[in-house]
Amino acid sequence: MRPGDAPVRTSPRDVLRTRQIRSGSDLLAARQAVRAAAVEAGFDLVGQTKVVTAASELVRNAYVYGGGGTMGITPIVAPSGRRGLRLDVSDHGPGIFDVEAALVDGFSTGAGPGHGLGGARRLVDEFRIDTAVGRGTTVTVVRWAP
Ligand SMILES: Nc1ncnc2c1ncn2[C@@H]1O[C@H](COP(=O)(O)OP(=O)(O)OP(=O)(O)O)[C@@H](O)[C@H]1O
Ligand SMILES: [Mg+2]
């Protein structure tokens, strides 16, 4: 984060689009919605691809582990005028038992290679996981346009 970019204040009211994640085809639609929002927010092609890839990993986790959920896409503007996107990916699944472990590359309780969460974190500027065992998970990420 560069000086002048923080703090970012947004409220649930600011969420432009909330996508449901209930089926395999919703995963594709979610990717396309993030791509479109990134283009609108002035992201270059590399930035678009990074934020779309991060979103893809998070919605896939919400689908596979969380039994589905939602993704909020929020365009944000820093006090410096810099634009970005915030994504809130939520599910009401089992939660993540050990967040530190889940972020380590190669850790998976499923069939995946276990690179999703750690990879997503490296592709964004801000990354936060709120999770409660038995209640669900929300991963919030921010990426700024260049
Ligand atoms: N939304 C979620 N709800 C519950 N557990 C989750 C959730 N997201 C991730 N996890 C847990 O964290 C682990 C690591 O997730 P990560 O996305 O890094 O790897 P993966 O999904 O197992 O494999 P990959 O994403 O590389 O295909 C998962 O195996 C799962 O145990
Ligand atoms: Mg994953």
DSSP assignment of 46-60: HHHHHHHHHHHHHHH
| Atom nearest to 105 CA in ligand 1 | 18
At 64, which CATH number? Answer: 3.30.565.10
Strand partners, 132: 136
Q: Residue 3 falls within a domain, yes or no?
A: no
Q: What is the CB < 6 Å shell around ligand 1? A: 57, 61-62, 65-66, 91, 93-96, 102, 107-110, 112-118, 137
Q: Which range of residues forms the domain containing residue 46? A: 17-144
| Atom nearest to 107 CA in ligand 1 | 14
| Atom nearest to 108 CA in ligand 1 | 29
Helix (H, G, I), strand (E, B) or coil at 124: coil
Q: Residue 62 falls within a domain, yes or no?
A: yes
Counting ligands in written order, the one closest to the CA of 109 is 1
60, two tokens: 């896939």
Q: Contact at 8 Å (CB) between 122 and 50?
A: no
Whether the pTM exceeds 0.85: the reply is yes
Q: Residue 33 falls within a domain, yes or no?
A: yes
Counting ligands in written order, the one closest to the CA of 118 is 1
Residue 11 has pLDDT above 90, yes or no: no
CA of 55 to the centre of ligand 1 (A): 13
Across the chain, the runs of DSSP E, i.e. the strands, are 17-21, 69-77, 83-91, 126-132, 136-144
Domain count, the chain: 1
The set of residues, in sequence order, having a beta carbon less than 8 Å from that of 34 and lying 6+ positions away, is 51, 52, 55, 71, 73, 85, 87
* Digit-coded pLDDT (tens) for 99-144: 999 999 999 999 999 999 999 999 999 999 999 999 999 999 999 9
* Digit-coded pLDDT (tens) for 60-91: 999 999 999 999 999 999 999 999 999 999 99
